[in-house]
Amino acid sequence: MIGNILLVVAGLVLLIWGADRFVHGAAATARNLGVAPLLIGLTVVAFATSAPEILVSAVAAVQAQPGLAVGNAIGSNIANIGLVLGLTAMIRPIELKSATLRQEMPALLAVSLLTVSLFLDSYLSRIDGLVMLTGLVIVMVWLARLGMRSAATDPIAQDYDAEIPTDVSMHMAIVWLLIGLGTLLLGADLLVDGAVGIARILGVSQVVIGITIVAIGTSLPELAVSLASALKGEYGLAIGNIVGSNIFNLLAVIGVAATISPASLPPSVLSLHIFVMVAFTLVLFAMTYDYDGKAELSRLEGLALSVAYMAYVGYVIARNI
């Protein structure tokens, strides 16, 4: 058990550092190519921040551990809303002023419902995976067009402009991109090996380990970004980081896993976890909807999200261990 825990810790450390370097390199490369900051943020950065989840799930699928891949994707989306946004809003209420971000929120809800529809037969086929990867391409194109149409004065555009590096040469950007990718692959391999070992020793399903240990660990990069952004007053980036990441978590993570290794879904995924994910997404949509001209995620709402998340994780652990 100690050896497996060390593997998980080492994997998480490598994933967190690798994700930071990968995002840094990808964003700097795109900026050096002349891509607009908002376009980089909506596509390149959103995709790159999901790199830990994507690579963990790809490695899990290659090793014929699809339950870990699915649990990671669903658990990360729940953790991103309940843990990351909940804690961030408790520290600093998050104002939602971006018109671009308001258009992204319905897209996240639509992708979540697409995932539910594909899960209804309790089997993730290669066709399902290809449908999700096709959806990923469509969403990437839509986000690119959204970024080009958005106003330069949109707060989220200014947030991305301030955060995307401007002083990194193309050579160094590519170096960091490759170093980050290599570190992510190594971290993902170690994390999957450790997580599978822990699941076997405890006698629990890989879905449970994916939803708890792995999902929380792979959501740490998003937590760091959202907290730092909120403290600097970059509220669009604080919540936009989560919305974009959750969209890519479902389409890319589950899409890649299903395409590599089709598999049956454990009953608990359909009876509990997927609906908890949709419920958190709906609650976030309701909390950030502009009812009175002031859309924000308050401290009280952040507390409610955090408590709900801890209750969910506590229930999963108590039920399975």
Residue 124 lies in a domain: yes
pTM of structure: 0.86
pLDDT, averaged per 10 consecutive residues of the chain (321 residues), comes to: 83 82 82 76 77 82 81 89 90 78 83 90 90 91 78 68 77 87 84 79 79 82 79 75 86 89 83 90 83 73 93 87 67
Asked if the structure places residue 212 within a domain, the reply is yes
> In the prediction, which pLDDT does 195 show?
79
Q: Is 31 inside any structural domain?
A: no
Position 122 scores a pLDDT of 86
Residue at 9 is within a domain = no
3-class SS of residue 13: helix
What sign does the CA torsion over 107, 109, 114, 118 have?
positive
Q: Is 286 a member of any domain?
A: yes
What is the Cα–Cα distance from 57 to 275, expressed in whole angstroms? 20
Q: What is the pLDDT at residue 130?
A: 94
* Contact between residue 133 and residue 259 where contact means Cβ atoms under 8 Å apart: yes
Residue at 303 is within a domain: yes
Q: What is the CATH number of the domain that holds 55?
A: 1.20.1420.30
Q: What percent of the chain has pLDDT over 90?
A: 13
Instruction: Assess if residue 74 is contained within a domain.
Output: yes
The whole-angstrom separation of Cα 207 and Cα 212 is 9
Is residue 183 in some structural domain? no
Number of domains in the chain: 1
CB atoms within 10 A of CB 158: 17
pLDDT digits (tens, 9 = 90+) for 299-314: 898 999 999 999 999 9
Distances (CA, A) of 199 to 4, 50, 186, 207: 10, 24, 20, 9
Could you list the residue range(s) of the whole structural domain that residue 140 is in? 37-162+204-320
User: CA 21, CA 23: separation in Å to the nearest integer?
Assistant: 6
Q: Which residue has the tokens 């999957």?
A: 192
Cα 276 from Cα 101, distance rounded (Å)? 23
* pLDDT at site 32: 83
